Every structure is written in C-alpha cells, then in structure tokens.
Homo-oligomer: A and B are copies of this chain.
C-alpha cells in the first residue's frame, strides 16, 4: 500500500517531514507536490492527487488549516477525506468514516502530533457495521 501525499506552500514543511518519516518506516510515498514554500493554490494539488489515487490506498493532504484541501478532496466520490487535529480524531476517521485521505492543518499541528495522527490513520481498521451503512449514504445525494 502506497501513501500519496500533497500540500500547498503552507503544508510543504510538514509534508517534507512526514515523507521522510514514512520512508524511514518502509512506506512507499508518492509525493505529488508542491515542491517548495512558494505560494501556490491548494486545489491544484488535490486535483492532481485525486485524478491518480486508487481509493484502496491512503493519502495525506496538508494546507494551513486543512480545510481547503479537505473541501476540495471531498468533491470526489472516491475520496473520503477527514480533517484531523490530533491522533484520536484520525483514529475515529478510520474506525467510523473509513477515511482514505487524512487532511492535516500544517499551521496548527506539531510534527509530533502529526506523526501520531498519521500512525493512527494507517493502523486503525474500519469498524463496519452501522458505519458501513452510513458510508454508503454519503454518495447518495438524492436519498
């Protein structure tokens, strides 16, 4: 399972940190960009990731608050993007929402807490059951 990762300028430093940390743990990381701290537009990087991302893999998206990338990612029916500001929220995003994308607030989370959130995101299984029914309703816009 590969980890896809993308950010805007505000998430670039945390993306760089997490990419090195994930690689050191043996994960294969697909880095979509951005590639510097130069100002850029967050939707571009989300669209680039979304267009290639296999939904059974895992993705990480980072902008200043996490909301810009999360909003954009959830435009896609094959992405379930959750915004986590700590490890417990990341754990629940997997257990209850079967999230395949973790969004992080680059300007509002420490590297240490981000590592813990990513670890919870990668290691927590989906609980299924009543949550399976809810997941299936997310894309039923005319329910």
Contact = CB atoms under 8 A, between A and B. Distances in A.
Q: How many copies does the complex hold?
A: 2
A65 interface: yes
Given A44-B143, A83-B83, A140-B47, A92 B74 contact: no
Contacts of A74: 70-71, 73-75, 81
A97 interface: yes
A47 B134 contact: no
A12 interface: no
A42 interface: yes
B82 A71 contact: yes
A89 interface: yes
Tell me which of A39, A66, A92 has the highest count of chain B C-beta atoms within 10 A of its own C-beta: A92
Interface residues of A, number: 45
A65 B92 contact: yes
A139 interface: yes
Interface of A: 39, 41-44, 47, 50, 64-68, 70-77, 80-85, 88-89, 92-93, 96-97, 99, 105, 108, 130, 133-134, 137-143
